[in-house]
Structure 1
Amino acid sequence: MTTPLTFYTHPMSRGRVARWMLEETGLPYDTVLLEYGTTMKAPDYRAINPMGKVPAIQHGDTVVTENAAILLYLADLVPEKKLAPPVGTPARGPYYRWIAFMAPLEAMLTAKSAGALAKPEQAGYGSEADVLATLEGALKGRDHLAGDHFTAADLFVAASIGFYLQFKMLEPRPEFVRFAELHARRPAAQRANAIDDEAAAKLQPAG
């Protein structure tokens, strides 16, 4: 790939998910580290992402924001890596499904942490019990959500679960812990974490 790929992030953000995906692709990329409240909200970056948040990637003239979209986009750049099931195969359905499922999961957990859970009949995520039971059922006895090998769906679900477990927003059901820990052991995940951990350490004020 000759088109330049630039990754905009902060090491203590959900940009860690996109970083993991970038490492899985093996594609060369440049990283631009942004600071909350300053460079992340500056006009130069808002020209790329008007939301003033990370992550974002720029691939030539194409800008992609939101982790789900970034993962889908990157997976299609490297079909040889098999990070997405081939179009038209049965595994493509659950691949889309479980990547998209992280949106209602996040909405429910965010509402709960803010003490603002809506009534099930009024919320797009339905009930907390249904959301968690659905996710748990999808993971039970399975290492992969879309086909028989690792895809971006496994990455996104494992990374999201790991994030919510870390911040105690998600109850540590055995299947949640198992799935997150299984995929966190992948070499690309460990490389990505090491890169972001090093960057985060450099951002810490002296002393």
Structure 2
Amino acid sequence: MADLKFYTNPQSRGQTVRWMLEEVGQPYDTEILDYASTMKAEPYLSVNPMGKVPAIVHNCKVVTEVAAICCYLADAFPEAGLAPDPKDRADYYRWIFFTSGPIEAAFSNKAAGWEPTPERQRMFGYGNYDLAINTLEKALTGKTYIAGNRFTAADLFVGANVNFMLQFNLLDPRPVFTDYAARMTDRDAYRRAKDIDGKLIAEAQSRQAAATA
């Protein structure tokens, strides 16, 4: 039994954490949860009272929220080289949390068909969708990586979000975004993670089809 346990559903933001775990390269156990049942009941609610995934438990400590999990794993397993030196982490923290905050709020509200009116934009951390997305574009323009000269957990997290938004037509396919997403996902760990979750999704769909046949 590994000291690292991963709670997820393959059709969730857990896909980003799966990728991070594959980059880290340490053994981990996985527990798949169902949205309608096991995710909303004990024993999982003792792990995350929000009843949502992903979450990890490492050495008896719980970490939730994708950005926090990525940062935690990068620090817990420094041999993977997924975090810059502490003195070089300004951009690393800035763009991870910009993406987990303003960007996610902006695209989530847009996907729900809602955006703040001009007079209420000051109440929201992202102002408006265009401001948030244009700021991200400026951060990526002219760079191979978003936080230094090599791939880090910041690229994994930002790249996963950009890739997700492009796939679901929540982001204008500007070359800076499409090129960045393609570069960041061109990694063996990403392909392994996608293969694992893809097989889990196919198995779940097969079980569902058999149950309704």
Partner of 1:168: 169
Counterpart secondary structure, 2:51: coil
1:97 corresponds to 2:100:
no
Q: Is the 8 A contact 1:109 1:169 kept in 2?
A: yes
Counterpart secondary structure, 1:7: strand
Q: Is the 8 A contact 1:3 1:60 kept in 2?
A: no
Counterpart secondary structure, 2:12: coil
Distance in 1, Cα, partners of 2:77 & 2:171: 32
Counterpart secondary structure, 1:54: coil
Structure 2 residue identity aligned to 1:95: Y
Partner of 2:104: 106
Partner of 2:25: 26
Distance in 1, Cα, partners of 2:33 & 2:113: 30
Structure 2 residue identity aligned to 1:78: F
User: Could you say what the CA RMSD is over the residues aligned between the two structures, in angstroms?
Assistant: 1.3
Counterpart secondary structure, 1:201: helix
The size of the alignment, in residue pairs, is 204
Gapped regions of structure 2 (runs ≥ 5): none
Gapped regions of structure 1 (runs ≥ 5): none
Distance in 1, Cα, partners of 2:108 & 2:58: 31
Distance in 1, Cα, partners of 2:102 & 2:180: 19
Distance in 1, Cα, partners of 2:153 & 2:144: 13
Distance in 2, Cα, partners of 1:73 & 1:152: 10
More helix by percentage: 2
Distance in 1, Cα, partners of 2:42 & 2:77: 32
Deviations 1:39-59 (A, max 9, x none): 111121001000111000001
Partner of 1:134: 135
Structure 1 residue 127: Cα displacement: 2.4
Counterpart secondary structure, 2:34: coil
Structure 1 residue 3: Cα displacement: 6.5
Distance in 2, Cα, partners of 1:121 & 1:66: 25
Structure 1 residue 123: Cα displacement: 1.6
